[in-house]
Homo-oligomer: A and B are copies of this chain.
Amino acid sequence: MSAALTAANRNKTVLLLGSRDMSEKIVKAHEIRNYPGLPAVKGTEMAEAFRNHLEKAGITITEGRVGAVYAMGDYFALQIGEEMREAKAVILATGVVNANPLPGEKELLGRGVSYCATCDAPLYRGKSAAVIGYSPREEAEAVFLSEVCSDVTYFPVYREETNLPEKVQVIREKVTGIVQEGGKRIVRTENGEYRTDGVFVLREAVAPDNLVPGLETEGAHVKVNRKMETNLPGVFAAGDLTGLPYQYVKAAGEGNVAAISAAQYLDQLR
């Protein structure tokens, strides 16, 4: 949001992709005491202050989950569900992915494992699918898949109660990996094995190097310099994604710097 505000101030056209609820992290934050200017606010109050600021600046949040960002030479193609959008510069501010990839996940990505139900559901029409969901928000994806697939098994990776229709089978077992066997995928848990056609691994954010092919990372973090430039020209990053500390005002500051660097990059393209 900070990047969007500054980019808009610099007269750039901004597409702010994300969730109007902001993030699980901010919604659940009990109290934030060190964001200068907003003393001792609840996460929800801070989110409200930010939404209010965006509104006053005429910036809307476009709900959408970006599955991939492809560098096309002089522009970027963003895959958002089944839609494609274009941008001349991209600022990544996805937050950090807490979970390590599951064993087998990266190896089978695009070969029976998917990060995007909207994109890949058609491949599993009338077939079976498993969903490994890292937050209650992913349940909506399982419901959608259950309308397309013959059967859906849902593995919640969180404590909250699930709220799913009966035809979605919920398995509360710790997933230990995904393997390939004779044209099928097998979800392995601590207690058993579940055979299926497609496996959807759904997290709030995708690991950055899966999101942007060729992006240089250090563990879970994107490598940036002090200008918030990544190794890819035209791709910038800000916030938790760039490394510790995971703090709101640090993220806001980096968003500002990323937007100014992106604006300079765009001005040079002309």
* Contact residues, A31-90 vs B (CB, 8 A): 33-40, 46, 49-50, 52-53, 56-57
In the bound complex, residues from chain B placing their C-beta under 8 Å from that of A253 are: 247, 249-254, 256
- Which one of A1-9, A109-117, A175-183, A200-208 is at the B interface? A1-9
In the bound complex, residues from chain B placing their C-beta under 8 Å from that of A46 are: 37
Residues B2 and A252 in contact, CB atoms below 8 Å apart: no
In the bound complex, residues from chain B placing their C-beta under 8 Å from that of A35 are: 37
Residues A1 and B33 in contact, CB atoms below 8 Å apart: no
> For the complex, is A28 an interface residue (Cβ under 8 Å from B)?
no
Per-residue B-contact encoding for A215-231, CB less than 8 Å = 1, 0 else: 00000000010100000
> For the complex, is A136 an interface residue (Cβ under 8 Å from B)?
no
Q: Nearest Cβ distance between residue A46 and chain B, in whole angstroms?
A: 7
Oligomeric state, in copies = 2
> For the complex, is A15 an interface residue (Cβ under 8 Å from B)?
no
Residues B39 and A38 in contact, CB atoms below 8 Å apart: no
> For the complex, is A243 an interface residue (Cβ under 8 Å from B)?
yes
> For the complex, is A91 an interface residue (Cβ under 8 Å from B)?
no
> For the complex, is A257 an interface residue (Cβ under 8 Å from B)?
yes
Complex Cα–Cα for A39 and B33 (A) = 19
**Residue from A5, A56, A253 having most chain B Cβ neighbours under 10 A:** A253
In the bound complex, residues from chain B placing their C-beta under 8 Å from that of A40 are: 56
Residues B37 and A57 in contact, CB atoms below 8 Å apart: no
Partner of A249, one of B39, B56, B242, B252: B252
* Contact residues, A1-37 vs B (CB, 8 A): 1-2, 5-6, 9, 33-37
Residues A256 and B260 in contact, CB atoms below 8 Å apart: no
Q: Nearest Cβ distance between residue A44 and chain B, in whole angstroms?
A: 13
Task: Determine the residue in chain B with the shortest Cβ distance to A46.
Answer: B37
Q: A39-B53, A53-B36 are in contact. Are A249 and B256 (CB under 8 A)?
A: yes
Q: Nearest Cβ distance between residue A34 and chain B, in whole angstroms?
A: 4
**Residue from A35, A40, A243 having most chain B Cβ neighbours under 10 A:** A35
**Residue from A9, A40, A226 having most chain B Cβ neighbours under 10 A:** A226
The 6 closest A-B CB pairs, nearest first, are A253-B253, A39-B53, A37-B49, A5-B34, A39-B56, A6-B34
